[in-house]
Structure 1
Amino acid sequence: MSLEVQSESQAARPHPVTAGGATAAATPGYQVIRRNGLVTPFDLAKISVALTKAFLAVEGNSAAASRRVHDIVAELSAQIAASLARRADAGRTFHIEDIQDQVELALMRGEHHKVARAYVLYREDRARERARSAPPAAVLAEPAPVLRMTAADGSLVPIKRARLAAVVEEASAGLDGVSATAILTETGRNLYDGISADELAQAPILAARTFIETEPNYAKASARLLLDKLRSEVLTFIDGCPEQATQAEMAGRYGAYFHAYLAKGIAAELIDPELQRFDLGRIAAALKPERDLQFDYLGLQTLYDRYFLHVEGRRFELPQAFFMRVAMGLALREIDRDARAIEFYDLLSSFDFMASTPTLFNAGTLRPQLSSCFLTTVPDDLDGIFKSIRDNALLAKYSGGLGNDWSRVRGLGAHIKGTNGESQGVVPFLKVANDTAIAVNQGGKRKGAVCAYLETWHIDIEEFLDLRKNTGDDRRRTHDMNTANWVPDLFMQRVAENGPWTLFSPDETPDLHDLYGKAFKTAYEAYEAKAARGEMKVTREVRAADLWRRMLTMVFETGHPWITFKDPCNIRSPQGHVGVVHSSNLCTEITLNTSNDEVAVCNLGSVNLAQHVTPRGLDRARLAATVKTAMRMLDNVVDINFYTIPEARRSNLKHRPVGLGIMGFQDALQALRLPYASDAAVRFADESMEAIAYEAISASVDLAAERGRYPSFAGSLWSRGILPVDSIELVAEARGGLDCDRSQTLDWAGLRQRVMTIGMRNSNCMAIAPTATISNICGVAQSIEPAYQNLFVKSNMSGDFTVVNAALVHDLKARGLWDEVMVSDLKYFDGSVGQIDRIPDDLKALYATAFEIDSSWLIEAAARRQKWIDQAQSLNLYIANPSGKKLDQLYRLAWERGLKTTYYLRSRSATHVEKSTLKGTDGKLNAVSASIPVAAAPIVLGEAWGQACAVDDPTCEACQ
């Protein structure tokens, strides 16, 4: 049977075979590199023909079989075409072996195991046949034909093999386990006569990537090869003619390049001309070109695709220029701004701290919108509703993430006085907000993203729970917008008591929106009594436990709405004297006041905890220095920021909140040899957050001494000597008790006195954000997350990337356990070490993955952090085998421990790391991203079952 896809022996004519419902002929723009080096057009129809032959050879050619095979082949062909398109290199070419690898992988993914086995055996037979018919040694000894590159002017010039070899050697230097010879050999497989300059630059990068799964250091080699491509692109743009430089050559040219880079950026109206007024000689001399070498491939490719400045797609910003541009942008209003810019640059480029994505995008530009999060509250009138939606668009335009409180909007059936009609409720307006978020996609850098919050007593709460379902009236669904429950303590108490819960329309209960704690309880019970007397027009009574059950069902089925807690967010808020926290933000870590006049703004950045531990523990001196500088940078954002609406400017200047967070927590634990699921890890979460909180509050006091208190300081918890660790007792008092740790080790009494005497520069100091993208840049685990898997493919807006836990590989090498069999085992067991017998128990515990760790450990660690944090945490929960009982226990535990918010519930996808050992790929073909949500086990909560948010969903804002 002839199974070879795109075989050289097949005719070049198109085949009238359908794929995905359309005739698949030669696909324009894509080409195939044959084994003999020739290049021919890519023809999807040949894949369909080969697949059809493979299925019929195994399953027979009856009419029924033929009809079934036709449908299967159409679906597989479309999948293969889409996968190849995602993986196309700069020149839109594929090697013949890569295409056949994709066919094999598609068959295995589809569980067509017999066909896949036959296909694999056929490929092996063909390989042996080619080997038997290979030319004699004498012919092979002849010099290889000279391959040429197509230059920009269309002429053909010889490929500079010596330079290619030198660049690969330089990229491999000093990296244990990396072979320049192996990269060059693999590169040669993808060269052909007439190759374009872009393809030639991409070829060694793709070659190095094929080895990442067996040696993590190839990720650094791949990054260094991408640097060569970037340098060529940048220098050619700067100089106006083709230009190249190795890393060693560039080290001597970085200063001169930096001057030209600023001039080009200013001329293109992308960089603020004010940056030219710095002492550029001093600034350029402070650049550290060697820090270009510390990136992994995922980090640098992310910067290349989404962060570096470009003109019509041509980048002109190198990594150290990028970090310095951001640093200078943050130092614009400093007295000695040259010294501060260098200080900020050193912190960013060392990866000890990283500013948030909007700051990295926009600092030093003409529109420096540097803030990450915006929170609004939507009024109950048409003008206010549509103004809020317009504000969403303006805030999202420059990379802001949005949290909207919709609890004031009257519910379905409520009376509208102006028209004497009935309200259609909050859902139709949420649909408009959803579509606005999609329309404003932040210039293609990342999707516009918004989260809608609704309080649990709102009459529309049950419809709100259904917003992300894929069934029902699509006009009442919001498939792209995140949603979150804003849950009062009274509701949780009613759930525990199995009591009733009454739903109201906010036009009849307007004060509930602003009340919390005991005041909320009093008012709510009064409205319940009024409803019982028949004095309320729109109301409905449900069982609290039934509504809770449905909330958990929906968070499992759709990943939404998230569950966040209104009372601890407000009771512990330092700013309760001047307003109310009506919602959190897009990622549930921000808890700031909102009103008609104030749109809350938060400015974020994260300490890389992995950089601040030694085998002996936390490096307090380094951490103190990092936090001090980081807090200054974050405070500067408030004054430099470009505000798109006046309500945001008013709020930010009045309260000056910032959110210092952490990332690399899992890396720090592994460096300290502490398993995530252990009391020691919980204690480290406590110790590290206490130290960060202490230094952050101290730094804000220092800034207050230098620059003055924030304007609304008087009357705040700070001014009354109530620090975040003290405000726990306020929650305990409101609830009649709170089961959480209160221990502390540092001199909080002394700091408390300084806060009361000198004041604070910032109303809020800490918030732990997801950090998904900036942690990629720094090459560490995101935020406070446990590792998803130890070997997997990560998907984001930059593509698919093989990710290997380098620390695990290091430990396995030290014990003589890292080999091809171990790689295969990790794939087979979906990146988990728990079921691999050869791995010792201590390493199984240390490298346990997210779904192997009981999420109660995540909650216990988060509770220890929460006592120190004046805002909240983006806390994902993982559950491999969900049940109603488990979900109930988890979320009740989160509330009982005093957590303010939770984030995504993540369930394991049914697509895992591929159990194949395909060779000759870039690593992406060896695994299946867990980005496709699929049905999980039924949840024991009524009839519903489905999926929670899958890990690394490239369409999910949390994963960006």
Structure 2
Amino acid sequence: MGITTSTPRLSENALKVLQKRYLKKNEEGRIVDTPERMFRRIARAVAMADLNYGSTLQDVEISENEFYSLLTSLDFLPNSPTLMNAGRRLGQLSACFVLPVDDSMESIFDAVKNAAIIHKSGGGTGFSFSRLRPCGDVVGSTKGISSGPISFMTVFDTATEAVKQGGTRRGANMGMLRVDHPDIMSFITCKDNNDTLNNFNISVALTEDFMRKVEDDGDYELINPRTKRMVKRLKAREVFDLIVQRAWSNGEPGVVFLDRVNQQNPTPGVGEIESTNPCGEQPLLPYESCNLGSINLARMIKKAAGSKGSEAGREVDWEKLRDTTLKAVHFLDNVIDINKYPMKKIEEMTKSNRKIGLGVMGWADMLIQLGIPYNSERALGLAEEVMRFINEEGKKASEELAAKRGVFPNYESSIYEGKRKLRNATITTIAPTGTLSIIAGCSSGIEPLFAVSFVRTVLEGTKLLEVNPYFESVAREHGFFTRELMERISEAGSILDIEEIPGDIKEFFVTAHDITPEDHIRMQAAFQKHVDNAVSKTVNFPHSATPEDVKKV
């Protein structure tokens, strides 16, 4: 069998992103790569993992061709570190890491060093600072006074600022603190000054007990993690209201329902989950990493058979979606084996659980092609159906791999023990897919369109008018396309109040700000029902939103 070749259909913006961040450069900084070569290098490197499991070189060639077609068709793309580093010297392929931070100088600065190594290779890191003694507490070795978790977070932030991720992007961190930590009030307000902790997203780890106290308007205890003793009581509702107020003011802190996360922990016998990756969609154990990938739903569409099907004459191509899911799970499982891990402990933990995170992008594009409004019951129903299908087919693919390669080593400490033999402790995650969706030429993650027409400022300040290709096609088909109208839409940001556009078209070209916060949450919830890990989702609020609006969400 020979090597198959195909040329990816990449937009001008996709090519610019690849040239800036992903394609190989020589020592002078000149690009010595092409997208085809990049995808071939990735496909070949990932396919080589099959040799570990008794495959022949001919089998590996078949996998390589399948992976190459998967990538060049833009049906599926792995996370950025895999695109950047597969088949290259650095070889670090995971996007998400969680590192422990224990209550000692050695542990704290080990974590700083390890985070810097991860950021250099293109990964993002999550930390829980909940084990650190509070500010003002005694330091046993010197009888001095502790500076507390927030002070040490600035050390992590400064180190991150100094390291460019793989030479392509700034590092990113998630910092978490339990709501019952004595420094919680300082943590909630630590990003009031927009010049500090810019390399951190921060989230308060809420407990079931705390939320009950919020409902009952009761007090709750702050516990010193060093002594395990209560140091103070606070009004739960006042703390919750402060979180809401700060989130309304500048978007942070977020909240993580830690007890709920651990109820869904697939390996409770191995340890507790205490943090997530920077965007929050991947909860991980200490020293664990995960590699992600996304199916492009915009390409999982076919013409409807006969007169039946959707109003747009198209329907979901379930067979293609099944085949893509099967190959994507194979790809992501292989990545775990060929990955060059930044630390031995991370390699051991990752290979023991073999978590993967298969998600989606192009959801808004799929809905538009099917003629379904994003903020409709039909869209919510299809969201559940699509994600249920991917999650179940993904688990079937993991079962097939387990039959050939064995279950993940921590299987006996997992919720699947004796029920279902899987190769991977988790299968599905929905990530934001910012740059991936630009490369794939589709809408990002499960988000609605941000705009149907907008002006993009490119190099040297040149302004380009960009129109969503689906909208342009419909506008031309219905005879209302003019450049002047597209410019008006780009200024307005929405098409809802533009008279020239028919009402039924306005319905399924809704944009992020046309949709209520509640509808954003309902969409997230629909997908979350069938996702092993979590779902990254933006909720857009109007400028007129109040803290009470944020509180409802």
Q: TM-score range by the shorter chain?
A: over 0.9
Contact 2:454-2:466 within 8 A present in 1 as well: yes
2:76 is matched with 353
Q: Do the aligned partners of residues 720 and 551 (structure 1) sit closer, same or farther apart at CA in structure 2, a change above 3 Å counting?
A: farther
Aligned counterpart for 2:239 among listed residues 547, 564, 569: 547
Q: Aligned partners of 2:141 and 2:262: how far apart in 1? A: 34
Cα deviation, residue 553, structure 1: 1.8
Q: Structure 1: which amino acid aligns with 2:104?
A: D
Q: Aligned partners of 2:483 and 2:96: how far apart in 1? A: 45
- What does the per-residue CA deviation read over 1:119-161, in whole Å, with 9 as the maximum and x for residues that have no partner? xxxxxxxxxxxxxxxxxxxxxxxxxxxxxxxxxxxxxxxxxxx
Aligned counterpart for 1:820 among listed residues 475, 478, 483: 483
Q: Structure 2: which amino acid aligns with 1:836?
A: I
Aligned counterpart for 2:521 among listed residues 856, 859, 875: 859
User: For 1:262-281, what aligned pairs fall within 5 Å after superposition?
Assistant: none
2:217 is matched with 498
2:435 is matched with 773
- What does the per-residue CA deviation read over 1:429-462, in whole Å, with 9 as the maximum and x for residues that have no partner? 1000001111111243111111111111111111
Q: Aligned partners of 2:346 and 2:416: how far apart in 1? A: 23
Contact 2:75-2:324 within 8 A present in 1 as well: yes
Q: Do the aligned partners of residues 439 and 798 (structure 1) sit closer, same or farther apart at CA in structure 2, a change above 3 Å counting?
A: farther
1:321 aligns with 2:44: no
Contact 1:631-1:699 within 8 A present in 2 as well: yes
Cα deviation, residue 470, structure 1: 2.1
Q: Structure 1: which amino acid aligns with 2:473?
A: H
Q: Structure 2: which amino acid aligns with 1:874?
A: S
Q: Do the aligned partners of residues 637 and 815 (structure 1) sit closer, same or farther apart at CA in structure 2, a change above 3 Å counting?
A: same
Q: Structure 1: which amino acid aligns with 2:238?
A: D
2:283 is matched with 591
1:307 aligns with 2:30: no
Contact 1:330-1:363 within 8 A present in 2 as well: yes
- What does the per-residue CA deviation read over 1:905-948, in whole Å, with 9 as the maximum and x for residues that have no partner? xxxxxxxxxxxxxxxxxxxxxxxxxxxxxxxxxxxxxxxxxxxx
Aligned counterpart for 2:266 among listed residues 574, 587, 597: 574
> RMSD value over aligned CA atoms?
1.9
SS at match of 1:578: coil
User: For 1:710-859, what aligned pairs fall within 5 Å after superposition?
Assistant: 710-721=408-419, 755=420, 759-793=421-455, 802-830=465-493, 832-859=494-521
Cα deviation, residue 827, structure 1: 2.8
Q: Aligned partners of 2:352 and 2:459: how far apart in 1? A: 36
Q: Do the aligned partners of residues 796 and 624 (structure 1) sit closer, same or farther apart at CA in structure 2, a change above 3 Å counting?
A: farther
1:682 is matched with 380
Cα deviation, residue 794, structure 1: 5.2
- What does the per-residue CA deviation read over 1:781-809, in whole Å, with 9 as the maximum and x for residues that have no partner? 11011111112245799998654211112
- What does the per-residue CA deviation read over 1:439-495, in whole Å, with 9 as the maximum and x for residues that have no partner? 111243111111111111111111112222227xx7xx4233221222212222222
Normalising by structure 2, we get a TM-score of 0.93
Cα deviation, residue 821, structure 1: 3.4
SS at match of 1:426: helix
1:670 aligns with 2:368: yes
User: For 1:409-448, what aligned pairs fall within 5 Å after superposition?
Assistant: 409-448=132-171
Cα deviation, residue 645, structure 1: 1.0
- What does the per-residue CA deviation read over 1:53-78, in whole Å, with 9 as the maximum and x for residues that have no partner? xxxxxxxxxxxxxxxxxxxxxxxxxx
Contact 1:469-1:479 within 8 A present in 2 as well: no
- What does the per-residue CA deviation read over 1:628-668, in whole Å, with 9 as the maximum and x for residues that have no partner? 11111100111111011111111111111110010001101
Q: Do the aligned partners of residues 801 and 427 (structure 1) sit closer, same or farther apart at CA in structure 2, a change above 3 Å counting?
A: farther
Cα deviation, residue 889, structure 1: 0.7
Contact 2:42-2:83 within 8 A present in 1 as well: yes
User: How many residue pairs get matched?
Assistant: 533
Contact 2:81-2:95 within 8 A present in 1 as well: yes
Identity level (%): 32
Q: Aligned partners of 1:795 and 1:875: how far apart in 2? A: 25
Contact 1:302-1:798 within 8 A present in 2 as well: no
Q: Structure 2: which amino acid aligns with 1:353?
A: F
- What does the per-residue CA deviation read over 1:381-415, in whole Å, with 9 as the maximum and x for residues that have no partner? 11011111111011111101111111111111222
2:291 is matched with 603
- What does the per-residue CA deviation read over 1:575-629, in whole Å, with 9 as the maximum and x for residues that have no partner? 11211110111111111222xxxx0100110011111123443211101110111
1:559 aligns with 2:282: no
Contact 1:452-1:481 within 8 A present in 2 as well: yes
Cα deviation, residue 542, structure 1: 2.2
Cα deviation, residue 327, structure 1: 0.5
Q: Structure 2: which amino acid aligns with 1:608?
A: N
Cα deviation, residue 419, structure 1: 1.7
Report 1 or 2 for greater relative contact order, CA contacts < 8 Å, sequence distance ≥ 6: 2
Q: Structure 2: which amino acid aligns with 1:323?
A: F
Contact 2:46-2:334 within 8 A present in 1 as well: yes
SS at match of 1:576: coil
Contact 1:298-1:801 within 8 A present in 2 as well: no
SS at match of 2:190: coil
Q: Do the aligned partners of residues 823 and 803 (structure 1) sit closer, same or farther apart at CA in structure 2, a change above 3 Å counting?
A: closer
User: For 1:377-456, what aligned pairs fall within 5 Å after superposition?
Assistant: 377-456=100-179
Contact 1:573-1:870 within 8 A present in 2 as well: no
Cα deviation, residue 767, structure 1: 0.7
Aligned counterpart for 2:6 among listed residues 276, 288, 303: 288
1:870 is matched with 532
SS at match of 1:792: strand
Q: Do the aligned partners of residues 859 and 796 (structure 1) sit closer, same or farther apart at CA in structure 2, a change above 3 Å counting?
A: farther
Q: Do the aligned partners of residues 761 and 797 (structure 1) sit closer, same or farther apart at CA in structure 2, a change above 3 Å counting?
A: farther
1:927 is matched with none
1:658 aligns with 2:356: yes
Q: Do the aligned partners of residues 796 and 470 (structure 1) sit closer, same or farther apart at CA in structure 2, a change above 3 Å counting?
A: farther
User: For 1:106-505, what aligned pairs fall within 5 Å after superposition?
Assistant: 282-283=2-3, 286-289=4-7, 291=8, 294-311=9-26, 312-334=28-50, 335=55, 336-470=59-193, 477-505=196-224
Contact 1:767-1:871 within 8 A present in 2 as well: yes
Q: Structure 2: which amino acid aligns with 1:640?
A: I
Q: Structure 1: which amino acid aligns with 2:135?
A: L
Q: Do the aligned partners of residues 395 and 622 (structure 1) sit closer, same or farther apart at CA in structure 2, a change above 3 Å counting?
A: same
SS at match of 1:868: coil
Aligned counterpart for 2:550 among listed residues 887, 891, 901: 887
Q: Structure 2: which amino acid aligns with 1:656?
A: R
Q: Structure 1: which amino acid aligns with 2:251?
A: G
Q: Aligned partners of 2:536 and 2:525: how far apart in 1? A: 12
Q: Which runs of 5+ in 1 are unaligned?
A: 1-278, 510-526, 528-535, 722-754, 891-960
Q: Do the aligned partners of residues 422 and 796 (structure 1) sit closer, same or farther apart at CA in structure 2, a change above 3 Å counting?
A: farther
SS at match of 2:48: coil
Contact 1:394-1:645 within 8 A present in 2 as well: no
Contact 1:446-1:797 within 8 A present in 2 as well: no
Q: Structure 1: which amino acid aligns with 2:240?
A: W
Q: Structure 2: which amino acid aligns with 1:659?
A: G
SS at match of 1:607: strand
Cα deviation, residue 671, structure 1: 0.9
Q: Aligned partners of 1:489 and 1:619: how far apart in 2? A: 41
2:392 is matched with 694
Q: Structure 1: which amino acid aligns with 2:243?
A: M
Q: Structure 1: which amino acid aligns with 2:548?
A: K
Contact 1:685-1:862 within 8 A present in 2 as well: no
SS at match of 1:389: helix
Normalising by structure 1, we get a TM-score of 0.54
